Structure 1
Amino acid sequence: MTRRYFVPELSPTGGPLGLPADEAAHAARVMRATPGDRVVLFCGDGREAEAEITSVDKRHVFVLAEPPRNVDRELPFPLSVAASLPKADRARVLVEKLTELGVTQLQPLVCQRTQLAPSPAAIAKLRRAVVEASKQCGRNRLMQIGEATSFSQYLHQTDPDAASLIAHPDGHSLAVTLKSSGGDDGHSPVQIAVGPEGGFTDAEVEQAVETGWQRITLGPRILRIETAATAIVARIVLA
């Protein structure tokens, strides 16, 4: 598989450029890049460019890039996930899997049972994890991660035309709910909410239902945050 590197700014005409410091370090020290190697550069907005490495040292890697082109590997509909993020390692796993599955946006939630809201530094690390996962899976458009927000505020910012699904043990089956809401047509926007350890409170669920959200269940077993979110997304994307 061709090696991929993230370059936030790609010239529309191509030409010589240096990889960003962290990408250069990975290319030189981990991937053992050498002049003449062919690579792919992507900038996160849907474009990618083939390039050839021209020089390498311990801190710098220079390439000659071809003009970038749009290469679409995105889902045919917007898919967002709002979740009370688990602890660091598990949050990274969640971000990796949602990126691989094509989620458009991840919104960190602060709910009544959230133990610790993610710090700006933690959000920054997760955004870097999006880049790493995109390099691996071939996405050219980065999944967006918002700043942490309260569940109540989030409900007032959501898309009223989307199929809106909130995970809750007494909900209906995902398949039935998707069919009734139009979320299985492959085109309509879908938004998913997953609560913290211990789940959403009854008041939070009631508030969501009052604004048009539908409760869904994933069966009799209690799933961790990252498992539940990934399972719901996989069911929607891979069905």
Structure 2
Amino acid sequence: MQRYFLEEDYTAKEQYEVVGEPYHHMVRVMRMTPGNQVYLVFANQVSIVAEISGITESAVCLVEKEKEQQEKELPVAITIASGYPKGDKLDLIVQKGTELGAAGFIGFPAKTSVVKWDGKKLAKKQQRLEKIAQEAAEQSHRQVTPTVALLDSEKTFIQQLTQFDMIVIAYEESAKQGEVSQLAQILQTVKAGSRILAIFGPEGGLTPAEVEQFMAAGGQPCGLGPRILRTETAPFYLLSAASYQLELLKVSN
């Protein structure tokens, strides 16, 4: 069943009207007709099963059949912050990170980032990544479309660190030194609803000076197992570990 994200909050109505891009996709791409059912996901994270009752020249009219009951979101909001990597690696991070439950993505120019984007390129890239996040959220039946922000300076990024309850720094030196318990301890003690920022360096990693800055803002360096992971792989490791600890273990208990 197709899933469509709407910008409005959910309120109980006799009928809902879908316009714009979702209308085009329903009518022109999927060629839906009255009687077809879809998921409608609202801005306040309520999702419903809705049935098409009619189609006009500019809107699809739907009626609610039932609310979606299964919880799809991680109990904590994890934002992935990536020092700009080369090529299309950020596309992959956003796509797969969305499927794994990330609440948001931040890109920033780290000291060892090779990629240099001006304001116009950043805006265009952010638009593309927002589209990737939306499509991945639809595909994975998320109840939230992750946010995407591409920053033009590391200083701007550091100024945003106060927005989070907890900051995790994926630091390869911690892994090299054999540290393996910090991330597990964080995930075992984190409270539901917490906002976690996980910082990852680009291909060249984070410099000691950067790590010191992040630690001064309350960040905790963590190793991600005994192996050194690529910049595009490390976020998936952390999100998978969070899902195991906060979702799978909860179900098994």
Q: What TM-score comes out, normalization by structure 1 length?
A: 0.82
1:123 Cα deviation from its structure 2 partner:
0.8
C-alpha deviations, 1:80-116, integer Å up to 9, x for none? 2211243564322211222222222211112122222
Unaligned segments of structure 1, at least 5 residues: none
Do 1:85 and 1:91's aligned partners in 2 also have CA atoms closer than 8 Å?
A: yes
Give how far 1:222 is off. Answer: 4.4
Asked if the contact 2:10–2:44 (Cα under 8 Å) also holds between the matched residues in 1, the reply is no
* Corresponding position of 1:207: 213
1:112-134 CA deviation, whole Å, 9 max, x = no partner?
Answer: 22222461121122112222122
| 1:63-78 alignment, distance < 5 Å | 63-66=61-64, 72-78=71-77
Structure 2 distance, partners of 1:160, 1:22, is 32
| Secondary structure at 1:146 match in 2 | strand
Within a 5 Å distance, the mapping from 1:141-156 to structure 2 comes to: 141-156=144-159
Provide the residue aligned with 1:191 in structure 2. Answer: 197
Task: Tell me, yes or no, if structure 1 residue 176 matches structure 2 residue 170.
Answer: no
- Give identity over the alignment, percent: 28
Is 1:126 the counterpart of 2:129? The answer is yes
Matches within 5 A, 1:28-107: 28-55=27-54, 62-66=60-64, 72-86=71-85, 89-107=88-106
Aligned pair in 2 of structure 1 residues 85, 61: CA closer, same or farther (>3 Å)? farther
Question: 8 Å contact 1:13–1:67 — kept in the other structure?
Answer: no
CA deviation map 1:170-215 (0-9, x unaligned): 11467501244x3322525432100112111222122223333222
Residues 184, 162 of structure 1: CA spacing in aligned structure 2 closer, same or farther, 3 A cutoff? farther
Secondary structure, aligned partner of 1:170: helix
- Cα deviation, 1:129-171, whole Å, max 9, x if unaligned, reads 2221221222222212224153343234324873422122211
Which residue identity is paired with 2:170? A
Q: Is the 8 A contact 1:53 1:61 kept in 2?
A: no
What is the CA–CA distance in structure 2 between the aligned matches of 1:177 and 1:221, rounded to whole Å? 15
**1-structure distance, mates of 2:75, 2:44:** 16
Match of 1:233 among 236, 239, 244: 239
Distance 1:46 1:11, change over 3 A: closer
Classify 1:31/1:209 alpha carbon distance in 2 versus 1 (closer, same or farther; 3 Å): same
Kindly tell me the number of residue pairs found equivalent between the two proteins: 236
